[in-house]
Amino acid sequence: MTAEAAIWERAWAQRDPAFDGGFFVCVRTTGVYCRWVCPVRLPYRRNIEFLPSAAAAEAAGFRPCLRCRPETVPFSPAWKGTLTTVERAFRLIVEEGALDGEGASVESLSARMGMTARHLRRLFVRHLGATPNAVARTARVQRAKRLLSDTDLTMTEIALQAGFGSLRRFNAVFAEVYRRPPGAIRRKLRGP
């Protein structure tokens, strides 16, 4: 028996929740695979095998248990619930600029996510404490600050690359967030 198998054996016998999602128990007699914290009566040891993932269990011909729901192991998308949706939308906003540019809106983002704009806003406020537009605004300002410090682009080029629609809007938002105009930040970063 390998060291990993011995650890899995002990965790299964004790139903140790610290290992939840680390391996799965497959019962040959029923054709079901479970999390080892499953509340069902423990099967005989001779009837089970341990596999490292749900995909491996399904590839071996086992089906998920309906009681412990192995698809909801900790940190899986199903386990995290609506936070998974918020994280995906957050990535789209910050990394792809889903709310930047012509015609971009919370409505188009929410349609892409498969929900209403109102529900997306509600989820953002619940999980992040801010609306999607506020998150996009912060992402734009942070991109602009990086461009100010790392490049020699003009203010107009920075504004457009950061996702602002105009130089005027860039200056207004930047001054509101940093309490000084972008030129002052650039001068401070570059020194005298």
Give the Cα separation of 160 and 183 in Å (integer).
16
3-state secondary structure the chain: CCHHHHHHHHHHHHCCHHHECCEEEEECCCCEEECCCCCCCCCCHHHEEEECCHHHHHHCCCEECCCCCHHHCCCCHHHHCHHHHHHHHHHHHHHHCCCCCCCCCHHHHHHHHCCCHHHHHHHHHHHHCCCHHHHHHHHHHHHHHHHHHHCCCCHHHHHHHHCCCCHHHHHHHHHHHHCCCHHHHHHHHHCC
| Catalytic residue numbers, as ranges | 34, 38, 65, 68
Whether 174 contacts 182, CB under 8 Å: yes
- Residue found by looking up tokens 């709310």 in the block: 99
Contacts of residue 56, Cβ cutoff 8 Å, sequence gap at least 6: 24
